[in-house]
Structure 1
Amino acid sequence: MQRVVDLSSDGLHVAVHRGFLTVSKDREEMGRVALDDIGGVIAHAHGLTWSNTVFVRLSERAVPVVLCAANHAPVACVWPLQGNHLQGRRLNAQVDASRPLAKRIWRDIVVAKIRMQGAVLASVGAEPGAFDMLARKVRSGDPDNVEAQAARRYWQAFMGPDFRRDQDGEGVNALLNYGYTVLRAIISRAICAAGLHPSIGLHHSNRANAFALADDLMEPYRPIVDRAVYNLVQDGLREVSPKAKTALVTLTALDLPAPQGMSPLHMQRDLHSNWRRFLIRRTWAWICLRHLTR
């Protein structure tokens, strides 16, 4: 299993030594991980120092380094320039993709997300029927914003009528932020490895968002994080503790269906060189949709 390295303790120094990522404090080594075993690095500690070689060696392996704020939400990411030997051709195809195509694929992503939300609600004993109906209402580009309608129903049914999703909030919201950060790192790495550019999205197009495509493709998988956070809350964990982070990081090894059979989430990055076939046939949204509608 590829590991997500979480750097959350203050005053750490991160370096590379003989094929390993090393973490030390006060010149005493605290741990090491083989570079080839790393799927992503998440940093949200104060006083963290790095060797420049760290970024070079991780970028050579298409491993993203995600920098987070105090609320565990990502604010920046180090992305490798050379993610694939066909990168130039794939980037051109990505840029040339038509707007109608992007809108149709965004519809499929929204449908997959809504159906996954319904499946998660059913798993905790809530009524999921409305979500199948909402999924049927989604049109190309989701001009009616059915995604937002589903979100309002989903959070109240899932976390209770008093819950409000707040990206700057503490407690459960901070747990969700951390889980989404892990998911974003996984998908960002898959995008880099495919030779695509994460800033060229399908729906998310904020100029300040360098990872619009990752934010698009992770949507159907957010409910998986939500379910994991629900389990933590049921166990009495409502803060981003080491135990909670360990539970959320293990989502990278969650087995999901793929065209070749069951595959861990972190390995679902077999992306076609053709941009259209990649988006239509091999996105995580398509895999998720196929699984939920069997």
Structure 2
Amino acid sequence: MERIVDIATDGRHLSLYRGFLIVEADREEVGRIALDDIHAVIVHAHGTTWSANLVAALAERGAPVVFCGTNHAPVAVTLPIEGHHAQNARMRAQWNASKPLAKQLWRRIISAKIAMQGALLAARGVNGADAFALIARRVKSGDTDNLEAQAARRYWPLLMGPDFRRDRDNPGANALLNYGYAIMRSTVARAVVAAGLHPTIGINHANRGNAFALADDLIEPFRPLVDALVIAMVDQGMDRLDPSLKRRFARLIAFDLRVGDEMSPVSIVAVRLAQSLARAFENGRPSLTLFDPPTPMEWSIVARVDDRESPDI
């Protein structure tokens, strides 16, 4: 069982002992989790310290450590240097990928994201949801018409209400979105490294200061899953991040998505997407293993994701 470990209490010390992540407070053990069960570690608390051998052991298992700011958005991530056995060849192919190939890959990613947004709105019975399928089909190579932004301007008011503005620095629903996206970003970043790709070399994102540009490219179709959980929380009057909500976000990586005729959890779907991207770089064909939007019933399951087996320490 892959678990998200959230360090949310100030003054904790994290160390390694016989294959376990040990959490201590005032030199007393307050929790332990087997390293092989850990999908990612999310650190929010002040004064957290850790041992270098713990970070190395997590990296060997491909488990990222995500450090978040006060707005719950990630500010740093640790990942292993070594990944897939064919890492060198794949990184060379990634670096040498042509611009037309990158633009076609980006078209597919953005089209999938917009289709997901429309499916979520349709599942909620929102008028205007049908337009998103049309917008998704109109995305051109490289999204030269910036339909991603046009869709976003329609999407957020329809989903969250006319007064909502997506702002990473705002509290409430925005803080919830930040945290959920941090979970997804760590999952995708892990998949990117496991596929032998370099997270800095993006398809579309190319900010020099962004060490995880490729992860930020591939996360796009997954974002509406976070949105679905956040709007469900807001509908229930929950707009402040607390341990129980964090655990619900952590369970998103186990939500099943349909890829062709198979159902797989988000964590595996992210790996399949990253692997297909690596093959696209190698063979020059813009083919990606993308998932189908959930059905209305499946969207309702996202909204009811519970908080079992996801420790907050």
Report the TM-score, using the length of structure 2 for normalisation: 0.89
Cα deviation digits, residues 116-135 of structure 1 (max 9, x gap): 00000011110211111211
Distance in structure 2 (CA, Å) of the matches to 1:152 and 1:60:
41
Question: Following TM superposition, by how much is the alpha carbon of 1:100 offset from its aligned partner in structure 2, in angstroms?
Answer: 0.3
1:221 paired to 2:222 = yes
Aligned 8 A contact 1:90 1:275 in 2: no
Match of 1:184?
Answer: 185
Question: Following TM superposition, by how much is the alpha carbon of 1:259 offset from its aligned partner in structure 2, in angstroms?
Answer: 4.8
Distance in structure 1 (CA, Å) of the matches to 2:53 and 2:163:
47
Instruction: Give the alignment's Cα RMSD to 1 decimal.
Output: 1.8
Change beyond 3 A, Cα 1:112–1:135: same
- Which is bigger in relative contact order (C-alpha 8 A, separation at least 6)? 2
Cα deviation digits, residues 226-256 of structure 1 (max 9, x gap): 0000111122210111111111111010001
Change beyond 3 A, Cα 1:9–1:139: same
Distance in structure 2 (CA, Å) of the matches to 1:89 and 1:46:
40
Aligned 8 A contact 2:173 2:230 in 1: yes
Give the share of equivalent positions with the same residue, in percent.
52
Match of 1:83?
Answer: 83
Distance in structure 2 (CA, Å) of the matches to 1:154 and 1:161:
10
Match of 2:310?
Answer: none
Aligned 8 A contact 2:257 2:294 in 1: no
* Letter aligned with residue 51 of structure 1: S
Question: Following TM superposition, by how much is the alpha carbon of 1:289 offset from its aligned partner in structure 2, in angstroms?
Answer: 6.7
Match of 1:287?
Answer: 291
Distance in structure 2 (CA, Å) of the matches to 1:20 and 1:263:
27
Match of 1:132?
Answer: 133
Instruction: Provide the secondary structure at the position in 2 that maps to 1:141.
Output: helix
Match of 2:7?
Answer: 7
Aligned 8 A contact 1:111 1:135 in 2: yes
Distance in structure 2 (CA, Å) of the matches to 1:22 and 1:160:
43
Distance in structure 2 (CA, Å) of the matches to 1:197 and 1:279:
19
Aligned length: 290
* Letter aligned with residue 287 of structure 1: F
Instruction: Provide the secondary structure at the position in 2 that maps to 1:6.
Output: strand
Cα deviation digits, residues 154-189 of structure 1 (max 9, x gap): 000000000000011101000000000000000000
Range with greater deviation from structure 2 (82-91 or 221-230): 82-91
Instruction: Provide the secondary structure at the position in 1 that maps to 2:119.
Output: helix
Match of 1:43?
Answer: 43
Distance in structure 1 (CA, Å) of the matches to 2:227 and 2:247:
15
* Letter aligned with residue 175 of structure 2: A
Distance in structure 2 (CA, Å) of the matches to 1:101 and 1:32:
45
Distance in structure 2 (CA, Å) of the matches to 1:168 and 1:57:
33
Distance in structure 2 (CA, Å) of the matches to 1:100 and 1:189:
26
Cα deviation digits, residues 185-237 of structure 1 (max 9, x gap): 00000011111100100001000000011000010110110000011112221
Match of 1:160?
Answer: 161
Distance in structure 2 (CA, Å) of the matches to 1:291 and 1:39:
27
Match of 2:253?
Answer: 252
Change beyond 3 A, Cα 1:71–1:279: farther
Match of 1:96?
Answer: 96
Give unpaired runs (5+ residues) of structure 1. none
Match of 1:261?
Answer: 262
Report the TM-score, using the length of structure 1 for normalisation: 0.94
Match of 1:208?
Answer: 209
Question: Following TM superposition, by how much is the alpha carbon of 1:136 offset from its aligned partner in structure 2, in angstroms?
Answer: 2.2
Question: Following TM superposition, by how much is the alpha carbon of 1:260 offset from its aligned partner in structure 2, in angstroms?
Answer: 6.8
Question: Following TM superposition, by how much is the alpha carbon of 1:282 offset from its aligned partner in structure 2, in angstroms?
Answer: 4.2
